Structures are given as C-alpha cells and as structure tokens.
C-alpha cells in the first residue's frame, strides 16, 4: 500500500523540459534545430503510432514504450497508422524510403508541435537516433527509469539531423585488463545514447586471449590467465554465450561490434597456449608486462594459417557485422628474419624483406575472409610492406595511414594517438583537444575524402581497469561523438562545453564516474633570487577547488589553495583537486631543491629531444626534480647521445657535493647511463675530474625507477661543473627493442 501512495504523489507532477524555448543541450549537436512556440504534453493518453512497414521499427517503438511505461506508470500500445484518421495527442514514428537520399540510413527529422511528435526517417536506425535526441529533451533522471512524472512537457521544435560519418566507434581493450560483461553493456548503452555505432572489441593480445573458441580450448583455459608480478593470477574471458548476448544487446542499440583478432603480432597469449604457432615453437608464458614482443605467429607454417582460419570461422559465427579487425600493428620481424620456415617462404615468394612477408600474411587472411563476404580492417602498419586492396586501414600513427589508404583506393578509419588515444590522460588530450580533432586529412581530395569512413577513440587498458575506465573515457567520449556526428562548420567548443555541463547529471544517472576535462592541477613554479621558490597553482578546468600540503614544514594536512606561496627552502608540495562529483585521488607532486646552481648558466654539448625538452635550457637547474613519470614534463631526454652539461655558477664557489638525477624505464628504451663523470673547472677550459661513477643497477628491471648519482668531496673552488652521462647507445640484444636507439633521461643537477 505504501508504494501505491508514493506513486500517486509522483503522478501529480509534470516535467517541463526547456519549455521556455531555450535550445536543448543535445550531444552530439544536431545539424539543425528550430525552436517553435508552445509545448507538447506526453501523458498516458498519448497514442504511439508507427507505420509498420519497416524492419526493426516495431522493436524500436517497443523499447520507447517500455521506457515511457517505467517513467509514467503507463503508456499506449504500439498502434498502426491509419490513413485519414485525425490524431491530436500522438507520437508517430514513420519511415519513408525516399528520405534516404537526403538523410541517409541514420538521419531523422523530429517535428514537435502542440498536437503531435513525429519522427521521420529513411530507416528504423534514423528513428532510433531521433529517439536518442528525444530523450535528451527529458530530465536527466529518466536515464535510470523509475516512475518520476505523470506527464512530460516538451518544447515544440523541428530537428533535422544526420551523421557526418558512418563509422563512429570506440575501441575497448579487454585484454590488458578484463572488462566484465556488465561494463561492456554499460558502455554499449552510453555509446548508443551519444549516437556512436561501432564497438571495436579488442579480444586477443600478448597478455590474454579473451574469446572462447570451441576448437581451441587452451586459448581460454590457459591463454586467458596470467601471473602478475605479485604472483597473483589475473584472468577473465567471454564465453560464446556471453558474446551472443552482448552482440544482441548491441544490435538493438544500433551498435555493430567489430571483433579484433590480432595477427601476426600481439599474439603471445595464443602462442603460449599452442606453442606450434610461433617460429621457435618454444613454450612461452602469457605476458604479464606491457609492450611489444618479438614472438609472433610464424608466417612460414601452414598450420598457423589453418589455426587462424578455424578461429576466424568461429568468430564469424558470433559476429554478424561485415568487418573483422585483424590487427597487424607493431610486428617485430626479428623471429621471421631468423626462422628457416619464414626464410624459405620469403625466398619462394621472391620477397625482399619481412615487411613484404607481412603483406603476404595479411593478403592470405584477407582472401580467406573475403570468401565469407567479410571485410578486414588492419592497423596502418599493414601497408608498410606495399599496397593492399580491399582493406580498411585504421590510422593510428598519425593520419598518414588514412592518407595512404585513401590514395590507394582503400577505406580508412582514423584514431591518431594525438587526439583519439584516451588511455592518455587529459594532460595529453584535454576535452578541448579531443573536440578539436578533424577526421578528414587536408591532403585528400574531395573524392579521396569519401574513403574516410569515420573514427574511433581508443581505450587501451594497460593503465585502465573497470575502476577508472569512466574517468578516462568521459567526458572526452562526448567530444568524439560530436566530432564524428555533427557538421564540422557547426562545431564550437564554447557551445559544446555549455552542453557538456548539462550532461554531467545524465552521466551520473548512467552511473558513469566521469573524470576531468583538463589537467586539474597546474604548477607554475620559479625561483626568485634571494627570495625563494614562488609557487602558483591553477587548474586547466573552471570550477575546480585545489588543496595543497607542504612537507618538510611540519604541516601535512591539505589546505585550500587561495594565493601564491613563496618558500625559501627545499620542500615537497602535494596538491589535489576536487570538482563536482569527480572522484580523483591523484596527488600532484613537485619536489624542489634549493642549491648553488639554481638558474645559473647551462650549456649542453648535445641537444635534448624536442619530445622531451622539459623546461628547455634551464630544465636541469630549475630546482624542480623529475617524478617517477617520464612524461611529467620535467625530464629532459637524450636519444642515442650522451647527456653532457656544463653548469656555470657565475662565480667561483666552494663546492663539495654534486648530484644528477636519472630515470630508467627499460620497456620505454630509457636506461640509466653506463657511467656518470663529474669534473670541475675555474676557467671553463681546464677541467679536473672529480669522480666517474659506473652504473651498478640492472637494466633488466621492468619498473620505472629514479636514481640520483651523487659525489661528495672535500670542498674545492670551482666556477664550472661538467656532468657527462654515458648513453648505453642501443637497446641490448635481450631487449624487445634490440638495436633501437636508447635514451638517457636526466633531471636536476644539484650543486652544493
């Protein structure tokens, strides 16, 4: 009984949506919205009518009615349109094939007058997208439908809308970290709400195989589990039943799922499950580390192709979409170059190099899939061995892959690291930067541009788990959705940002723990002679509250930041940010050291890389120490060359201590220097060696580490201090990047 009263109280309210004629905050922005006078009232008496001629329309109408039912406690049945009948309070879904020319398959027209709400489209897909816009006229809490109102008052308007690109996708890597079925389903809901239509499902990797293949049970029994560094087991896979359920769930929401079965590289989990698949046939372990690994499928062994064809046969029965992604990225050729079978095949085919062998590999799989009317997508590396035909290229190393594809008559999907790799934080790709993405390369002619089907944002999950995925994907997904749907000339960041602010409530209703739009804590720190370090904190995003604590000053609690600070000592500052419901526990840390070389003179014998320049010429003597993240903007990187710095103290001083900081991250080709030599001089011409310190720390650690190389000695008068850090040159033979140019990453040179 109690529940019944509750219902009655709610029924007395009506919801007024933008009834004042204010333009609603629809994302992605429709091509055209015309606001009109008046409102339309959806009540339990409102009829819901379809023209029942089109495939899928009845299903779309049922989903609509189910939601209305849960919102209002009741709703009309789906009725069939009766010509000649006068309707007064009605919602009509109608499809007209003639609209295909103007609206395409996915476009729609929504016309709301005081008497009726009509969504017209060429297909049920268009009606579906009209409904996604319609829901955005409702209050945010309809997303989690529960009885909230007896009626809904919507503004009269006309929307004419269609997508700019037919391919609007998100890649979800479920290998590095497993995403449970509920997470995948939640993302399908969110993607379809924002009119995205492709889920690119990355299912096989070095670190895991996550799709059940009945003919090869080891792939999941063995290949879906790995032993982590702490000896724990990490596992998970999707059964074929799970996959069918997910594919069907996606289909109702107009999302086509593209499975990615990686080959010939990123295949350690498969090879570890069936060792005959590799060139060496050695038993491997499933990789617990991230990176690129030299063991790949053997190209010279027919049983490998038999395996792949059998796998793909099962994949094809599970995924009805016409595209299958076959990977093709980051394939080291080391094993092929040293494999008798691969070498024999190369010679038989008269190929010059192993890039051409990869071209052969991809062609062979393409021909196999073509027989089943499937089209392949491959990462842009698949064109490295020469042209291919009838392939779709996913361009990730910039946009060049898309240009190359379009100019050779192939289709392209764009997801460049610069704008579409949302596994990078907002410091690399802010919401504004994601929004500035232009999917059509300017190098292409009008006809060539037609080959660019659209784009994807890529969610690689080395550092993403179900716990933080929302934080990385949102709100940037909204930017990608608008980039791929809305007309280019109508895109405007200020307007978009205002609409995003309105969508935070919707995201909360979707139980999405969205993250920041931009770097939440920006440090602006510089040393002022005789005064100390001046510290300003700011945020890349409006409305964020900042808190800080200074260590080494008996003051560990976090205080709100209000004004700049000046501190004349060495210290560590920790800051954190708070914004609406963003749950971010990240600490932003800067460690400062007061010393004799601060902001004095600096000459470098070899240039630092423009990609890792930190604060430029003074980065090594600015008092700021690099953190354990080599992309923090504090480390200066030197590739192949030594770091060789001369500090000019500007006058002769007593010196008794020098140190230099270094970072090692072997998977990123950054190693501690082989040795570090310190010397001093009074005139800058004749130097006296102070010490030469050999590195004793292993190169083989996978962890990112930082280490100060120090020398302490009896005080000596010097004006110039020289520090030479010997680069190891190239990655050693045991390393996955064997032969590649190694880096030295240096930071503060401290003189006392």
556 within 8 A of 549, measured Cβ to Cβ = yes
Q: Enumerate residues 6+ apart whose C-beta is below 8 A from 526.
A: 533, 534, 622
Instruction: DSSP for 532-545, please give it.
Output: EEEEEEE-SSTT-E
Sort 83 into a burial class: Cβ within 10 Å, 0-12 / 13-18 / 19+: exposed
Closest distance between ligand ACM and the C-beta of residue 398, in Å?
12
Q: Nearest-CB residue to ligand ACM? A: 329
Closest distance between Zn ion and the C-beta of residue 304, in Å?
8
Instruction: Please report, as residue ranges, which positions from 396 to 435 form the binding site for ligand ACM (by CB under 6 A).
Output: 396
Sort 358 into a burial class: Cβ within 10 Å, 0-12 / 13-18 / 19+: buried
Select 245 or 329, whichever has its Cβ closest to ligand ACM: 329
Q: Using CB distances below 5 to 8 A depending on partner kind, what does residue 342 bind out of Zn ion, ligand ACM, none? A: Zn ion
Select 106 or 262, whichever has its Cβ closest to ligand ACM: 262
Q: Does an H or E element contain 187, and which?
A: helix 181-193
Closest distance between ligand ACM and the C-beta of residue 328, in Å?
9
Q: What are phi and psi of 172, to 5 degrees?
A: -120, 115
Q: Using CB distances below 5 to 8 A depending on partner kind, what does residue 298 bind out of Zn ion, ligand ACM, none? A: Zn ion
Select 33 or 424, whichever has its Cβ closest to ligand ACM: 424
Q: Using CB distances below 5 to 8 A depending on partner kind, what does residue 279 bind out of ligand ACM, Zn ion, none? A: Zn ion
Sort 384 into a burial class: Cβ within 10 Å, 0-12 / 13-18 / 19+: middle
Closest distance between ligand ACM and the C-beta of residue 582, in Å?
27
Name the segment binding Zn ion (CB under 5 A); options: 217-225, 337-345, 483-491, 542-550: 337-345
Closest distance between ligand ACM and the C-beta of residue 379, in Å?
5
Select 379 or 720, whichever has its Cβ closest to ligand ACM: 379
Please choose, from the candidates 240, 201, 200, the residue with its C-alpha nearest in 3D space to the C-alpha of residue 219. Answer: 240
Please choose, from the candidates 319, 321, 302, the residue with its C-alpha nearest in 3D space to the C-alpha of residue 166. Answer: 321
Residue 339 makes contact with Zn ion by CB under 5 A: yes
CA distance linking residue 743 with residue 752, whole number of Å? 27
Closest distance between ligand ACM and the C-beta of residue 560, in Å?
40
Q: Using CB distances below 5 to 8 A depending on partner kind, what does residue 632 bind out of Zn ion, ligand ACM, none? A: none
Instruction: Please report, as residue ranges, which positions from 341 to 360 form the binding site for Zn ion (by CB under 5 A).
Output: 341-342
Binding mask 28-67 for ligand ACM (x = CB under 6 A): ----------------------------------------
Binding mask 275-294 for Zn ion (x = CB under 5 A): ----x---------------
240 within 8 A of 212, measured Cβ to Cβ = yes
Instruction: DSSP for 392-418, please give it.
Output: EEEE-SSSHHHHHHHHTT-EEEE--HH
Select 199 or 298, whichever has its Cβ closest to Zn ion: 298
Closest distance between ligand ACM and the C-beta of residue 170, in Å?
14
Q: At what angle do helices 240-252 and 181-193 cross, to 10 degrees?
A: 20
Residue 608 makes contact with ligand ACM by CB under 6 A: no
Q: Using CB distances below 5 to 8 A depending on partner kind, what does residue 379 bind out of Zn ion, ligand ACM, none? A: ligand ACM
Helix (H, G, I), strand (E, B) or coil at 156: strand
CA distance linking residue 27 with residue 357, whole number of Å? 45
Q: Using CB distances below 5 to 8 A depending on partner kind, what does residue 396 bind out of Zn ion, ligand ACM, none? A: ligand ACM
Closest distance between Zn ion and the C-beta of residue 340, in Å?
8
Instruction: Please report, as residue ranges, which positions from 529 to 548 form the binding site for ligand ACM (by CB under 6 A).
Output: none
Q: Using CB distances below 5 to 8 A depending on partner kind, what does residue 51 bind out of ligand ACM, Zn ion, none? A: none
Instruction: Please report, as residue ranges, which positions from 349 to 388 form the binding site for ligand ACM (by CB under 6 A).
Output: 379
Closest distance between Zn ion and the C-beta of residue 298, in Å?
3
Using alpha carbons only, give the angle 176, 178, 179 rounded to the nearest 5 degrees: 130
Residue 201 makes contact with ligand ACM by CB under 6 A: no
Name the segment binding Zn ion (CB under 5 A); options: 150-158, 336-344, 378-386, 716-724: 336-344
Select 297 or 523, whichever has its Cβ closest to Zn ion: 297
Q: In 113-179, which ranges are E strands?
A: 116-121, 151-161, 167-173
Residue 298 makes contact with Zn ion by CB under 5 A: yes
Q: In 605-704, which ranges are E strands?
A: 624-625, 636-639, 643-664, 675-681, 688-694
Please choose, from the candidates 339, 391, 394, the residue with its C-alpha nearest in 3D space to the C-alpha of residue 367. Answer: 391
290 within 8 A of 176, measured Cβ to Cβ = yes
Name the segment binding Zn ion (CB under 5 A); options: 130-138, 283-291, 335-343, 585-593: 335-343
Instruction: Please report, as residue ranges, which positions from 240 to 279 form the binding site for Zn ion (by CB under 5 A).
Output: 279
Q: What are phi and psi of 381, to 5 degrees?
A: -60, -20
Select 206 or 517, whichever has its Cβ closest to ligand ACM: 206
* Alpha helices, H only, 301-445: 302-318, 334-337, 340-349, 354-370, 400-407, 417-420, 431-435
Select 329 or 400, whichever has its Cβ closest to ligand ACM: 329
Select 78 or 457, whichever has its Cβ closest to ligand ACM: 457
Select 307 or 396, whichever has its Cβ closest to ligand ACM: 396
CA distance linking residue 168 with residue 413, whole number of Å? 9
**Count of residues that bind ligand ACM according to CB under 6 A:** 4
Closest distance between Zn ion and the C-beta of residue 361, in Å?
11
Select 335 or 503, whichever has its Cβ closest to Zn ion: 335
Select 10 or 292, whichever has its Cβ closest to ligand ACM: 292
Closest distance between ligand ACM and the C-beta of residue 415, in Å?
8
Instruction: Please report, as residue ranges, which positions from 130 to 149 form the binding site for ligand ACM (by CB under 6 A).
Output: none
Select 342 or 429, whichever has its Cβ closest to Zn ion: 342
Residue 330 makes contact with ligand ACM by CB under 6 A: yes
Closest distance between Zn ion and the C-beta of residue 263, in Å?
13
Near ligand ACM by CB under 6 A: residue from 242, 329, 644, 648:
329
CA distance linking residue 675 with residue 681, whole number of Å? 20
Instruction: DSSP for 675-698, please give it.
Output: EEEEEEESSSSS-EEEEEEE--S-
Select 325 or 625, whichever has its Cβ closest to ligand ACM: 325
Name the segment binding Zn ion (CB under 5 A); options: 23-31, 47-55, 297-305, 658-666: 297-305
Select 242 or 329, whichever has its Cβ closest to ligand ACM: 329
Q: In 477-629, which ranges are E strands?
A: 522-528, 532-538, 545-551, 555-560, 565-567, 571-578, 588-592, 601-604, 624-625
CA distance linking residue 292 with residue 668, whole number of Å? 10
Closest distance between ligand ACM and the C-beta of residue 448, in Å?
23
Q: Enumerate residues 6+ apart whose C-beta is below 8 A from 260.
A: 171, 200, 201, 202, 203, 204, 324, 325, 326, 327
Select 380 or 622, whichever has its Cβ closest to ligand ACM: 380
Sort 712 into a burial class: Cβ within 10 Å, 0-12 / 13-18 / 19+: exposed
Please choose, from the candidates 714, 677, 712, the residue with its C-alpha nearest in 3D space to the C-alpha of residue 693. Answer: 677
Residue 319 makes contact with ligand ACM by CB under 6 A: no
289 within 8 A of 702, measured Cβ to Cβ = yes
Please choose, from the candidates 472, 386, 357, the residue with its C-alpha nearest in 3D space to the C-alpha of residue 425. Answer: 472
Contact residues: Zn ion, CB under 5 A? 279, 298, 300, 339, 341-342
Contact residues: ligand ACM, CB under 6 A? 329-330, 379, 396
């Amino acid at each position: 009984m109690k529940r019944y009263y509750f219902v009655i109280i709610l029924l007395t309210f009506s919801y007024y949506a933008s009834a004042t004629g204010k333009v609603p905050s629809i994302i992605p922005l429709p091509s055209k919205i015309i606001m009109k006078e008046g409102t339309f009232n959806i009540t339990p008496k409102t009829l819901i009518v379809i023209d029942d001629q089109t495939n899928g329309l009845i299903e779309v109408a049922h989903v609509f009615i189910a939601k209305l039912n849960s919102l209002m406690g009741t709703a009309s049945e789906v009725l069939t349109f009766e010509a000649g009948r006068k309707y007064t309070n009605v919602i009509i879904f109608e499809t007209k094939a003639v609209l295909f020319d103007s609206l395409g398959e996915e476009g729609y027209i929504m016309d709301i007058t005081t008497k009726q709400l009509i969504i017209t489209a060429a297909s049920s897909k268009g009606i579906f997208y009209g409904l996604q816009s319609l829901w955005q006229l409702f209050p945010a809490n309809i997303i989690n439908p529960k009885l909230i109102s007896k009626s809904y008052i919507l503004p009269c308007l006309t929307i004419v809308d269609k997508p700019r690109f037919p391919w609007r996708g998100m890649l979800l890597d479920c290998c590095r970290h497993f995403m449970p079925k509920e997470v995948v389903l939640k993302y399908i809901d969110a993607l379809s709400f924002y009119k995205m239509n492709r889920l690119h499902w990355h299912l096989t990797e070095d670190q895991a195989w996550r799709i059940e293949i009945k003919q090869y049970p080891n792939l999941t029994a063995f290949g879906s589990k790995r032993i982590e560094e702490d000896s724990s087991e990490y596992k998970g896979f999707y059964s074929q039943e799970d996959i069918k359920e997910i594919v069907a769930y996606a289909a109702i929401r107009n999302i086509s799922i593209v499975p990615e079965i990686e080959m010939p590289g990123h295949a350690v989990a498969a090879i570890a499950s069936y060792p005959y698949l590799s060139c060496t046939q050695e038993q491997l372990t499933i990789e617990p580390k991230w990176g690129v690994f030299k063991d790949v499928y053997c190209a010279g062994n027919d049983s490998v192709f038999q395996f792949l064809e059998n796998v793909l046969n099962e994949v094809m029965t599970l995924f009805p979409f016409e595209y299958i992604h076959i990977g093709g990225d980051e394939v080291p050729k080391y094993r092929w170059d040293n494999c008798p079978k691969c070498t024999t095949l190369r010679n038989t085919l008269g190929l010059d190099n192993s890039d051409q062998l990869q071209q052969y590999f991809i062609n062979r799989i393409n021909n196999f899939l073509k027989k089943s009317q499937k089209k392949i997508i491959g990462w842009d590396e698949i064109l490295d061995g020469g042209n291919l035909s009838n392939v779709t290229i996913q361009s990730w190393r910039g946009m060049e892959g898309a240009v190359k594809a379009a100019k050779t008559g192939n289709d392209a999907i764009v997801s460049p690291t610069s704008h579409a790799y949302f596994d990078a934080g907002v410091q690399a790709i802010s919401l504004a930067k994601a929004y500035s993405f232009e999917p059509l390369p300017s190098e292409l002619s009008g006809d060539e541009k037609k080959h660019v089907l659209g784009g994807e944002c890529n969610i690689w999950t080395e550092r993403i788990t179900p716990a933080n995925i929302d934080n990385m994907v949102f709100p940037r997904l909204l930017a990608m959705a608008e980039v791929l749907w809305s007309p280019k000339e109508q895109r405007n960041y200020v307007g978009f940002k205002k609409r995003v602010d309105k969508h935070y409530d919707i995201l909360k209703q979707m139980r999405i723990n969205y993250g920041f739009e931009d770097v939440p804590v920006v440090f602006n720190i510089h040393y002022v002679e005789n005064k100390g370090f001046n510290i300003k904190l700011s945020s890349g995003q409006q409305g964020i509250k900042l808190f800080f604590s200074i260590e080494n000053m008996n003051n560990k609690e976090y205080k709100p930041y209000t004004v700049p600070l000046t501190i004349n000592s060495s210290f560590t500052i920790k800051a954190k940010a708070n914004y609406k419901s963003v749950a971010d526990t990240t600490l932003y840390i800067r460690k400062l050291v007061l010393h004799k070389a601060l902001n004095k003179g600096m000459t470098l014998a070899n240039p630092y890389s423009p990609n890792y320049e930190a604060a430029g010429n003074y980065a090594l003597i600015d008092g700021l120490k690099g953190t354990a993240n080599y992309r923090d903007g504090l480390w200066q990187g030197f590739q192949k060359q030594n770091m060789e710095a001369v500090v000019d103290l500007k006058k002769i001083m007593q010196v008794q201590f020098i140190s230099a900081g270094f970072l090692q991250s072997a998977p990123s080709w950054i190693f501690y220097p082989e040795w570090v030599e310190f010397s001093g001089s009074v005139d800058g011409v004749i130097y006296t060696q102070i010490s030469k310190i050999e590195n004793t720390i292993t190169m083989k650690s996978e962890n990112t580490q930082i280490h100060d190389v120090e020398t302490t000695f009896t005080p000596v008068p010097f004006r110039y201090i020289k520090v030479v850090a010997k680069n190891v040159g190239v990655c050693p033979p045991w390393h996955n990047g064997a032969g590649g140019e190694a880096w030295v990453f240096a930071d503060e040179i401290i003189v006392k």
